[in-house]
């Protein structure tokens, strides 16, 4: 704990709220970003069709089962599949104005020697069960 601080964590953060709203067209979702830098809007195009998503989720489950609490080795095929899935979601979510707003907020947080905390609000039920973390 920092001396003179009521905060239990020594880390300071800038919040970046991302809200994925209900589907407006097939596999496309309106996204709103809010932070001290302002507000931005965009359209997320979900990166996987139904079959690809099933395959990706199966690969993630296998990766978790194989890790079995062992030390994680960077670069294993399992680790790469987890990273690939996360990267695809990240890149689909942070496009256009929302992505620019994210990068601007990240630069400002770093300038202040703070971290950028993403708070994800997922409204569509079909996306809320995904492993976003």
| Predicted confidence (pLDDT) per residue in 9-25, tens digit | 688 999 999 999 997 67
14-28, 64-78, 83-97: lowest mean pLDDT where?
64-78
Q: Structure tokens of 82?
A: 């987890």
Query: What are the start-end ranges of the E strands in 36-92?
Result: 38-45
Number of neighbouring beta carbons within 10 Å of residue 30: 16
Average predicted confidence (pLDDT) for the chain: 86
Residue 50, φ and ψ in degrees, nearest 5: -60, -45
Predicted model pTM = 0.78
How confident is the model over 32-54, as pLDDT tens digits? Answer: 999 988 999 999 999 999 999 99
Q: How confident is residue 3, by pLDDT bands cut at 50, 70 and 90?
A: very low
How confident is the model over 25-35, as pLDDT tens digits? Answer: 788 999 999 99
Bridge partner list, 14: 116
């Amino acid at each position: 704990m920092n001396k003179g601080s009521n905060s239990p964590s020594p880390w300071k953060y800038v919040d970046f709220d991302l809200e994925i709203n209900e589907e407006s067209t097939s596999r496309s979702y309106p996204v709103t970003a809010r932070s001290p830098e302002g507000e931005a809007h965009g359209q997320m195009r979900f990166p996987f069709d139904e079959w690809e998503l099933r395959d990706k989720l199966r690969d993630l489950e296998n990766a978790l089962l194989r890790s079995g609490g062992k030390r994680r080795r960077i670069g294993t095929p399992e680790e790469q599949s987890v990273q690939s899935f996360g990267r695809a979601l990240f890149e689909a979510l942070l496009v256009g104005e929302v992505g620019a707003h994210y990068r601007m907020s990240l630069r400002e947080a770093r300038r202040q020697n703070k971290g950028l905390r993403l708070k994800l609000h997922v409204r569509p039920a079909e996306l809320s069960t995904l492993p976003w973390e």
